[in-house]
Structures are given as structure tokens and as C-alpha cells.
Structure 1
Amino acid sequence: MKKTVFSLALATFGLGMAEFGIMGVLTELANNVGISIPSAGHLISFYAFGVVIGAPIIAIFSGRFSLKKTLLFLVALCVIGNAMFTFSTSYPMLLAARFISGFPHGAIFGVGAIILSKIAPPGKVTIAVAGMIAGMTVANLVGIPVGTWLGHAFNWRYTFCLISLFDVLVMVSVLFWVPTLYDTAPTHLREQFHFLQKPEPWLIFAATMLGNAGVFAWFSYIKPFMVNVSGFSEASMTWVMMLMGLGMVLGNMFSGKLSVNFSPLRIAIVTEVMVVLAMLALFVGGEHKLAALGMGFLCCAGLFAVSAPLQIMLLQNAKGGEMLGAAGGQMAFNLGNAVGAWFGGLIIAFGFTYSYLTLPAALLSSGAMVALLLYGQCKTKRPLQAVTE
């Protein structure tokens, strides 16, 4: 089982590199291709659109093949998308390549979780899935800083060429270390949608989307922010990105530790409050390097600290449609990425300085906090309704 978990962790490492790696080379890419920073930011949004559209489509058709073949096909799409992005010669081609790269993202997480649920011993499924997801957090800590250094020292294309080659290695690991399994669960598509008749899952989707949008309105443009506002050199961005990645890793770990004593809802609400305050502090003190690093670290920690609680809440409220709920969570997560990058691009396009990126970020994160508070209100009212009925 350990080899299978490691193979899936490699897959999520590649996804993390592809999704977040562009942020560390955004300036070089824009200058090299001859586009504006907001236009380059749209490449982040198109990756997210690929995830949003790809997750449900692949979920519908993947049942016809073994989980291993489905996974190989998905990773092959990653290879194609990142290779196409590496050799793109026009802006439309760049957009198409990012869309293809994002298309298999959500489904890889879903297929990987099903595989681990079938091979993990009883009581070990959560640990196995956490091991798979760890690949993405490690990508933010190690992979993305390396990609940032490559883009600065040589060319941004080297970063995505490396990602494409890495995904080839992922395919090899899947061939040798992932067993051939089938998802034998009966599929009743209409029944899977029943959980959406309640407001709770929609509020969780909203919190996921708005929370991610809040962080990504700033994080999508972290390099120009840190260089132009905080005064960091471009060469130092490798270490800045590494610190942000450490925040994501520790945020995910700390959230897991807190879940022993606190409910997922409480962790999620407190995390969103922290992100809002950190964004406002960035607006006020972003010109100071230590403040920028500290508040940025907290924002990135919050990005992954809230992920697990929201996933748990989603599964709790998607009975009978867990797979669709999981796909919906990935869609909301990446739609938030797209919305956040778009809002940040608008701020820049309207002529505001990079400092003002933090204001829509704080506003969107506040929206996530409101959605979570409404969710808590719904959950307290429902038992009372059940008693009166």
C-alpha cells in the first residue's frame, strides 16, 4: 500500500507544481510572451476552469474503465497540457494548454481516494488519503520554489518542461505501483443529487469558493506584490515562495491537530477570521518586509488549514452523493482560484497599486466567513425542526 500512496502523492505533487508554479514565474512569463500581468493572471483562471469542467465530466465516464487506466489517462493529460504550455507560441495556445492541464486535476484526487479506500486497512483510509494530499503541500514547500528559481535563472518554459517530465515519471509509478481495481459501486445518478436539495452543502461550496478566491486574489500576484510593494528582489522570490509553501504545509498539519479537540466548523470560521485580519494587515503594512512575510505566511497557512475541515463538512452533508460532493468541492475550490485571480487582475487593470489586491481578498474571505456562520445557523435550526415535527 505504501508504494501506491507514494505514487498518488507524486501525482498530487505534479498537480501542485502545475497549479501554483505559474505564480512564481508570472512576471517572466508576461514579459517573455508580451502580455500584461492581468492577462497572465487569466492563465491561472483557465487552469481552474479546466478543473471545474473536467471533474464532473470525468466522474460520469470513468466508471467504464479500471481505476488504474483512468488514472493513467488523467496523468497523460497533465503531461500533454504542461508540454503544450511549454512550447506555446501564442496567448490563445497558452490558455488552451492551461485548460487541458487543469482538466484532470479534480478527478485525480477522486480516483486516488477511491483506490486508497479499497486497499487501505480499516481505520487507515484517512491516513492514506492524507498521505496522497501531502504531495501537494510538499510541492508548495519544495517544488514551486525550485520552479521559481528556474524561471528566474533561465526561462519560465524550463519550469513547465520540468513539470511535464515529472508527470511522465508519475505515469511510470502508476504502472508499477497502483493495482488494477474497479469502482463496483452502483451508480444512480439521480439519487446522487438529492443532497443538493438542502442549503448546507451549497453554503459549504460558497465558503470554499469565496475563501479560496480571497487568498488567490492576492496570492496569484504574490511576485509583483512582494517585489513592487515589499521591496524584495526577484532573486529572493525563491525563498519567499518556499516560506509560503511552508505555511501551507504547517497550516494543513495544525488544522489536523486541532480537529481532535474542535469541530470542523469552528476551525474553518476561526481560520477565515485569521485570513481576513492578515489581508488587512498586508494592506496597512505590506511595505515592511517582515510584516509582508509574516502576514503572507498566515494567509497561505489559512488556505490549507481550512481545506480539510470543509471537506469533512461536505462529506457529512452529502450522504448518498459523496463522490459528487467531492467533485463539487474541487470545483468550488478551483472556481475560487479563478474568481480570485480575476478580481486581482481587475484591481491592477483599473490602475490601482498592488497593495490594493488585499482589499478584495479580505472582502471575499469575509464572504466565506458569513457563509460558514449561515451554515452553523442552519445546523442548529434543523434539529429543532425535527423535534417539532
Structure 2
Amino acid sequence: MPRLPLALYLLALAVFAMGTSEFMLAGLVPSIAADLGVSVGAAGLLTSAFAVGMVVGAPTMAAFARHWPPRATLLGCVVAFALVHVVAATTPDFGVLLATRVVAAVANAGFLAVALATATRLVPSDRTGRAVAVLLSGTTIAMVVGVPAGSLLGTALGWRSTFWAVALLCLPAALGIVLGVRVGREVDPDDHRTPLGRELAALRAPRLLVVLLLAALANGGTFAAFTFLAPVVTETADLGETWVSVALVLFGVGSFVGVTAAGRLADQHARSTLLWTTPAVVLGWTLLALLSAHPVALLGLVLAQGAVAFLVGSVLIARALHAATEAPTMGGSYATAALNLGATVGPALGALAVAGAGARGPLGVAVALSALALVVLLGARRVVVPRE
């Protein structure tokens, strides 16, 4: 089997830096609140601001960038991402910090949308799933390595040091894009001939709409549970705070396994993979809700859920790109926006569930959203993936 292009791995490096920034605030909110003189709840808005910026930024940036050279766009997004992290690391004002999260999210969304489109051009159509898996491995490695490292760095040197670290991570990523993404090979000469109206009209296609809905529901369930994993570990399972990092690493390891498996299954076995693993996601969240008071079961299920949840999510991204062939420059942004819509709504519902049902409440939200995704999948399986 031919090797995948080096450019994919260089793009994944940038996704790693951006993924670290997206998830690192989970352990930094209290110290940011104390340093800038705001409430913990207000500091929590930094996470919401990033998610909203991703939802809005993905299609907006993709629309503006559709006539720009992909390499220049990718490089510009990485440089902008680095610069706003320098501003975040130095500002004494919470409002400015909040604004940097929105701008960083727009840059992240633009990068990911263009990177997904670029990845599909770098490989044959029957290897789209593997290309997506390599790209998304940057996010899962960020969860395994970047987020715990950022938490430790923030504890040792203060929360601002993590923003400096992310800015520095962008430098080798930018160099990799300059050296590794060739100008001519990743650009389809016919892309600029597809009118924007036609690309937007692709959203009326039933297959694409259903896949995007499934991606939003699946990711909403995943992030409803992931965002509020810490209180489950410390309150429900009655473990010490150190075990929160252990649980996050286990979830990240599982997600890496899931994304890697998706790269091998998404292209040739998407239908059977979704039909087997989506019920497994529902079952896993249900078991986690029921058994979360038992530490061994909790940690084992966290590892398993990271794997199956990200396997399903990665396959759905690949299916979205397959379904968006009429939107060669916008398809990646549609998938990005759908995933982050889920990442916005899921935690919001999880917050309401915490207030009403305690630490296990978000796990109930994860069960409900993933079960709804299963119902949609079973009802539209012939639309989502034709029979293999």
C-alpha cells in the first residue's frame, strides 16, 4: 500500500497545536478566574467562546478562502493563531482574553476546513478516510499529551505559560506547511469554477444533511460527557484530583485508537462500522452512567468510550466529505461546523443537567444524544452509506 504524503502529517502537527489550545482550558479556568478577578463561571465562557467561533468561523473562512491558495491560507491561519496566543499570554484584561479565544477559534476553524479539503486532494478518493484519520490524530494526540502537559505547565509556571507554549508549537507547524505543502499539487484547478451558490446548495442534499446531523449529535454526546468528566471522577467515583488527569489521558488514548481504526474502516466498511459502533456508543455511555461510582469500571469505560466515540465521529467526517463532492472548497467547513455545533450544544445541555441531576447528569445527556443519533442512522442508513 503506498505511503500517505508527508504533508498530511505536517498538517496534523498544526492540528495538534490547535487541539491543545481548544482543550487545555479544562484545567486552567480556576487560576484564570483568580488572576483576572472574575468568577469561575465567567472564566468558563472562554470555552464557549471558542466553540462558537469554530461554528461560525468554519463556513465563513472557507467561503472567503475558496479563491486563495491553500498553502497561503493554511499558513495565515497558523500565524494568526500563534499571534492571538501571544496577546492572550500578555493581556491583563479578561475581555481581551475572551476576544482572543474567538479569533483563535476562527483561525482554527479556517485551518481545519481548508486542511480537510486539502487532505482529500492529496490522496485518491478511496483513501479519504485514512487521510482524515491522520489529520484528526493531531487532535487526539493533543488530548493524550498536550492537555495534561498544559495542565502541568500551568500549575508549575502559571496559566499564561500554556498560551506561550501553544504559540511556540505553531512555529514548527508553520515551517512544515511552508516546506511540505506544495502549491501546485494540492490545488484542484476546477475548484474556483464552482460557484459559491452551488456549493451552498449542496447543503440541500439529503445525504449530506443527515451525515452532518449525525456528526453533530454524536459529537454533542461525546463532549457533554467529556466536558464534565472531572466531577464524575472526583464526586461520583470519589477519587482524588490526580485521577482526573488519568481519566483524561485514558480518554485521549482511546480516542487515538478510535481515530486510527477509523482510518482503516471508513473507506471500505463505513456502513457496517457505523451500524455496529453507534449502538456501542449508546451502550457505553449508559454503562458509564450506571457504573461511574466504581473506579475500575469508570476508568475502563472512559478508555473504551474514547475509542468508539471517536471512531464513529471520524467515520462520519469521512462520509461528510464523500457526500460533499459538489462543494469542493466548502465541504470541510460543513463537517467542522457540524462537529463544533455538537461541541457547543452538548456541554450546554450538560451544564443544565449538572444543575438538575448532579455530576452524572451530563452522562444522561450523552446517552440521549447518542441514542437519537442511532435512531437517525437506522432510519436513514441507505442514505448515509449505500450498501457495501
TM-score, length-scaled by structure 1? 0.86
* Secondary structure of 2:28 counterpart: helix
For residues 349 and 93 of structure 2, the distance between their equivalents in structure 1, rounded to whole angstroms, comes to: 24
- Contact 1:28 1:156 survives alignment (8 Å): yes
Deviation at 1:213, TM superposition (A): 0.9
Deviation at 1:306, TM superposition (A): 1.0
Contact 1:204 1:375 in 2 (8 A): no
Map residues 178-193 of structure 1 onto 2, 5 A cutoff. Answer: 178-181=181-184, 182=187, 184=189, 185=191, 186-193=193-200
Identity of matched residues, %: 27
In structure 2, distance between residues paired with 1:161 and 1:137: 21
Aligned match for 1:367, one of 353, 365, 372: 372
1:73-84 alignment, distance < 5 Å: 73-84=76-87
Q: 1:310 is matched with which residue?
A: 316
Structure 2 counterpart SS, 1:81? helix
Deviation at 1:248, TM superposition (A): 0.3
How far apart are 1:266 and its partner, in Å?
3.5
CA distance in 2, matches of 1:240, 1:146: 14
Shift of 1:113: 4.0
Measured in 2, the distance between the counterparts of 1:133 and 1:140 equals 11
Q: Residue 144 of structure 2: which of 141, 144, 147 is its match?
A: 141
Q: Specify whether residues 128 and 315 from structure 1 end up closer, same or farther in structure 2 by C-alpha distance, changes over 3 A only.
A: closer
- Distance in 1, matches of 2:380 and 2:87, equals 42
Question: Counterparts of 1:13 and 1:56 in 2: how far apart (Å)?
Answer: 21
- 1:174/1:150 Cα in 2 relative to 1: closer, same or farther (>3 Å)? same
Contact 1:114–1:183 under 8 Å retained in 2: no
Deviation at 1:295, TM superposition (A): 1.8
Q: CA deviation at 1:29?
A: 4.0
Displacement of 1:101 in angstroms is 1.4
SS at match of 1:233: coil
Q: CA deviation at 1:140?
A: 1.8
Number of residue pairs matched by the alignment: 380
Equivalence for 1:357: 362
Aligned to 2:223: 216
Report if the CA contact (8 A) 2:247-2:302 is conserved: no
2:181 alignment partner AA = V
Look up the match of 1:17: 20
Q: CA deviation at 1:81?
A: 3.1
What is the deviation of 1:375? 1.9
Shift of 1:9: 1.7
Structure 1 CA distance for aligned equivalents of residues 55 and 274 of structure 2: 23
1:161 is displaced (CA, Å) by: 2.1
Q: Against the structure 1 CA distance between its residues 160 and 121, is the aligned structure 2 distance closer, same or farther, given a 3 Å change threshold? A: same
Structure 1 alignment gaps of length 5 or more: 384-389
Which 5+ residue runs of structure 2 have no aligned equivalent?
A: none
Matched, 1:275 2:281: yes
Distance in 1, Cα, partners of 2:100 & 2:160: 13
1:122 and 1:259 map into 2 onto residues whose CA distance is: 12
Report what 1:319 is aligned to: 325
TM-score w.r.t. the length of structure 2 is 0.86
> Residue 223 of structure 1 aligns to a residue in which SS?
helix
| Matched residue, 1:238 | 245
Match of residue 207, structure 2, among 200, 215, 224: 200
Q: How far apart, in 2, do the equivalents of 1:268 and 1:91 lie? A: 43
